[in-house]
């Protein structure tokens, strides 16, 4: 999607290993979000950021941490991946009054 | 209080028919109600949105109807086409640019 990229697009990792997903934006938007999408659960907010080094928890934050050292980058880290964290992860950005723009997603499989 | 309840979970319509997706909420502090469309393998994309001071908004074949007193809103897709086959999410925003999403509805439009 224009202005927002996620990497990697696909990843397979083993249980117990650390994993970092990256979201990069070129829109200079203040707000950035990480969601996970699972069948039957829709989109659930993991963490979000309202500025550099300003982050807060969402509804499913356990087992995840985030960092935002620059406006353009928002990292999601699974400190010790578990099978329950197998999911599709979406990053989104938002400027004031302009709704969300989502990235193309990262499909993570924890085996 | 933060939930948005979406129904039905799935819908099959014939080409040319009307697709209707319903959402309900409890939190009267929600101030913005967008709908997102997601195709397989893609991130959700903003389709249409409404604010609670408006009862209806139409954009082409897509119409949002909003009933503030009932705390319900719905998406109507007129003259449904096979290209409309996707997953649709309703959402609601309360402060801090944070959106809460419904669980999604998979629409299939048969030729």
pLDDT for res B70 = 95
Q: Check residue B77 and give its pLDDT.
A: 97
Per CB-CB distance under 8 Å, the chain B contacts of A100 are: 34, 36, 44, 46, 99
pLDDT by residue (tens digit) across B6-44? 999 999 999 999 999 999 999 988 989 999 999 999 999
Determine the 3-state secondary structure of B75 from DSSP. strand
What pLDDT does A40 receive? 85
The answer to whether the beta carbons of residues A27 and A101 sit under 8 Å apart is yes
B34 and chain A in contact, CB less than 8 A: yes
Q: What is the rounded distance in angstroms from the CA atom of residue B4 to the CA atom of residue B25?
A: 5
| A4 to chain B, closest Cα gap in Å | 11
Please tell me the distance from the alpha carbon of residue A34 to that of residue A65, in angstroms, as a whole number.
10
* Predicted confidence (pLDDT) per residue in A34-84, tens digit: 999 998 888 999 999 999 999 999 989 999 999 999 999 999 999 999 999
Chain A nearest CA to B78, separation (Å): 24
């Amino acid at each position: 999607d224009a202005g927002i990229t996620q990497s990697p697009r696909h990843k397979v990792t083993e249980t117990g290993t650390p994993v970092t997903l990256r979201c990069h934006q070129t829109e200079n938007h203040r707000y950035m979000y990480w969601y996970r999408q699972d069948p039957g659960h829709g989109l659930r907010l993991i963490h979000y950021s309202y500025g550099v080094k300003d982050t807060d928890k969402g509804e499913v934050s356990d087992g995840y941490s985030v960092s935002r050292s620059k406006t353009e980058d928002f990292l999601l880290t699974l400190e010790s991946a578990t099978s329950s964290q197998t999911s599709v992860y979406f990053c989104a950005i938002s400027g004031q009054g302009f709704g969300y723009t989502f990235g193309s997603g990262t499909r993570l499989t924890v085996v | 209080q933060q939930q948005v309840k979406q129904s039905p979970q799935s819908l099959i319509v014939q080409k040319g028919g009307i697709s209707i997706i319903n959402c309900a909420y409890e939190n009267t502090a929600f101030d913005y109600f967008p709908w997102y469309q997601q195709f397989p393998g893609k991130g959700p994309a903003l389709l249409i949105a409404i604010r609670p001071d408006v009862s209806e908004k139409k954009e082409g074949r897509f119409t949002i109807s909003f009933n503030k007193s009932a705390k319900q809103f719905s998406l109507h897709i007129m003259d449904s086409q096979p290209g409309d086959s996707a997953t649709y999410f309703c959402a609601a925003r309360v402060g801090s640019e944070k959106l809460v999403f419904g669980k999604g509805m998979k629409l299939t439009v048969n030729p």
